[in-house]
Amino acid sequence: MTKGVKSILIATLFFSAMNVLVKMLSHIPPVELALFRSVFTLISCYLIIKKLGLKAFGHKNPLLFLRGLFGTFSLIFFFTSLHYLTLATATLVHYITPFFTTFFGYLFLKEKFYKIQWFFLLICFAGILFTQHDKGIFNTFNIHNAGLLYGLGASVAAAGAYNCIRKINLTYNPNVIMIYFPLMALPICILTLFINGGFIIPTYFDWFLIFLMALLTQAAQYFLTVAYQNEKVGNIAVYSNLGIVYAVFNGIIFFNEIPTFYSWIGIFIVVAGIFLNLFSAKLLGFIKVIKNDFV
């Protein structure tokens, strides 16, 4: 097992636990949670960087700022989707990120992308809509529609961030890359809260959950950064899909979010689409072999 694969397995486990905590903190605005998390990330990354004797802000590579910007919007959008959707559905939407990651990798990193992958993406969309068939999403615009849109936005932004990490590759220590997230997130979150208001003072128990959330997210981001620095963006995605399994069972255990019959079918369709995408190259090679055998 490579270093990248080991890192993504650890990151997925930490992210699944973090999602549970964010869901528990649904009474606090998502931007506020992102703000608290950013403060923790800034302090911890800076202390580690200083201890290692590294330059805190690298060489001001524009890709570092861009990674921070994409990461900020991905985090805010994903936290918002967790407020509106069940844990399983919000996670399902986020796990179509590899499609956009692969496509951006094709556009900017010259990695392979097959046209059939668009079809697999449509399969995933169909599965997600299937999980929401009883939410009235086709009749009117409601919180479930909003949750899906926020989740989709989080996936696109995350794909942009992952490709920035891949482009940067091993140039910087992971903590140097990570510190650019709070540098972008802090002003954006503060400005948003100032304009929109709605700041809620957490209780003592909320502060405890927020600290755990920030700690888990920091650890998850570190291992995620290591994973994408050491592997091609498509190679490790298959292992990150364990997060879907975690989300389903965590939703049942912690929030009594028991999937309906149609939701299980939708989950199966999404997972099938994701795996078809991950193995699209082998699938196309297999089809080509069969086609040649009949010619």
Domain spans of the chain, in order of start: 3-294
The string of DSSP letters for 115-167 reads THHHHHHHHHHHHHHHHTTTTTTTTS--HHHHHHHHHHHHHHHHHHHHHHHHH
Q: What is the pTM of this model?
A: 0.84
End-to-end CA distance of the chain: 39
Residue % of the chain over a pLDDT of 90: 35
Contact 14/237 with Cβ under 8 angstroms? no
Report pLDDT for 160: 93
Report pLDDT for 283: 64
Report pLDDT for 17: 94
pLDDT band at 138 (very low <50, low <70, confident <90, very high): low
* pLDDT surpassing 60 at residue 106: yes
What number of other Cβ atoms are within 10 A of residue 218's Cβ? 20
| 137 or 25, which is more confident | 25
Tell me the average pLDDT across 114-134. 82
Tell me the average pLDDT across 51-59. 75
Residue whose token pair is 């989080």: 154
* pLDDT surpassing 90 at residue 238: no
Residue % of the chain over a pLDDT of 70: 86
Name the amino acid, one letter, at 154.
Answer: A
Report pLDDT for 60: 62
pLDDT tens-digit map of 274-290: 878 777 766 666 555 55
Average per-residue pLDDT in the chain? 84
| 52 or 114, which is more confident | 52
